[in-house]
Structure 1
């Protein structure tokens, strides 16, 4: 049975997480907003890690996501949106993401994820299956160009994942699962 305190925390968590949705607008407006986010994130990644430009250009595909995450004591949740680009066909696949987990932490952060697929199989598996599981430990305190955060670069077989905080204040260590799926409205 949920106590009033736990129910309040869950309601607050899901309310904040809902803010990461695409909001209102036509299909084309939403697609353009995602592509603009992708371009901005890649510009930032290339400025901080110039070698990633060649890595992405040589890859069969890549994905870029914007995510908002909330962690309240023992519960973590987040949601976001993004796009996968198939470099061979030059086509975009618009996707959503959601994550949930447990662990110690407190904070809210807005972060970006760039995923580089080193094989077509890895990209197709991601687009068609989309699950990832893993631990997460980070500390961030950032607003615009001010503040600091611990950035990540991870390798999972045929995939390289880059993460960086856009804004937020968080200290967390969680075990979480993330689900990525095709956006039926935008594809």
Structure 2
């Protein structure tokens, strides 16, 4: 009896955490102006926290900014967010980020994510894909919160670098791998 009660409680908790993330594409759709405003604020926060990130941003051929990505689950998890791609200092496209996982996932969190495309080839490969997946279509070198200062911006030769920052909540899983980026209309 106790085992069934614990299983039922765990199931309800898992659904309570995972349901908002699984329905996120419908519930979180935002207009272009709001995405741009939120993205600009997130990028400003990153640059204010880390001057090396600002220096990398100046060298980047394109910058993809997700002001808020929500990720959660218990065993079964997922994530979703919407963002904007800047190239030449202008918003050129809008994207969603999504992922699903089965296995070692526990908790819920939200965070901001910035991906910088440091070469024309990396940016072109991203923009021409029909759904770019980190770790499959390209590797993202993750620079942890505050760690960009240790990166040498004059010799950084990685084609794609990424930042996760402004994390809230607690989660046992946070990575770029398995995230799929898809162009959306706004």
TM (norm. structure 2) is: 0.71
- Over 3 Å counting, the alpha-carbon distance change for 1:109 and 1:179 in structure 2 is same
Measured in 2, the distance between the counterparts of 1:84 and 1:99 equals 19
**d(CA) in 2 for partners of 1:21, 1:107:** 20
- Is this contact kept in 2: 1:127–1:181, CA < 8 A? no
The CA distance in 1 between the partners of 2:33 and 2:80, in whole Å, is 19
CA distance in 1, matches of 2:174, 2:118: 29
Structure 1 window deviating more from structure 2 (38-47 vs 169-178): it is 169-178
CA-atom RMSD in angstroms? 3.3
Partner of 1:138: none
Gaps of 5+ in 1: 135-149
Q: Distance in 1 between matches of 2:174 and 2:82?
A: 23
C-alpha contact (below 8 Å) 1:62/1:84 kept by paired residues:
yes
C-alpha distance in structure 2 between counterparts of 1:16 and 1:55, whole Å: 34
The answer to whether the 8 A contact 1:81-1:95 is kept is yes
Asked if structure 2 preserves the Cα contact closer than 8 Å seen for 1:103 and 1:174, the reply is no
How big is the shift at 1:97?
1.2
Please report how far the alpha carbon of residue 32 of structure 1 lies from its aligned counterpart in structure 2 after TM superposition.
1.0
- Match of 2:162? 161
In the alignment, structure 2 segments of 5+ residues that lack a partner are: 1-6, 137-143, 149-155
* 1:79 matched residue in structure 2: 80
- Aligned counterparts of 1:175 and 1:119: Cα–Cα separation in 2: 19
State yes or no: 1:16 paired with 2:20: yes
> Which 10-residue stretch deviates more, 16-25 or 51-60?
16-25
Q: Is the 8 A contact 1:63 1:114 kept in 2?
A: yes
Q: 1:123 to 1:10 in 2, by over 3 A?
A: farther
Deviations 1:91-127 (A, max 9, x none): 4210111111234232110011111111121112223
Equivalent pair of 1:115/1:162 in contact (CA under 8 Å) = yes
Which of 123, 132, 135 is the equivalent residue of 2:134?
132
Would you tell me which structure has more strand in proportion to its own residues?
Answer: 1
Deviation at 1:13, TM superposition (A): 4.7
Q: Which structure has the greater CA radius of gyration?
A: 2
Partner of residue 68, structure 1: 70
- 2:182 corresponds in structure 1 to 181
Aligned to 1:93: 93
Paired with 1:120 and 1:153, the residues of 2 have a C-alpha distance of 25
Relative to its length, the structure with more helix (as a share) is 2
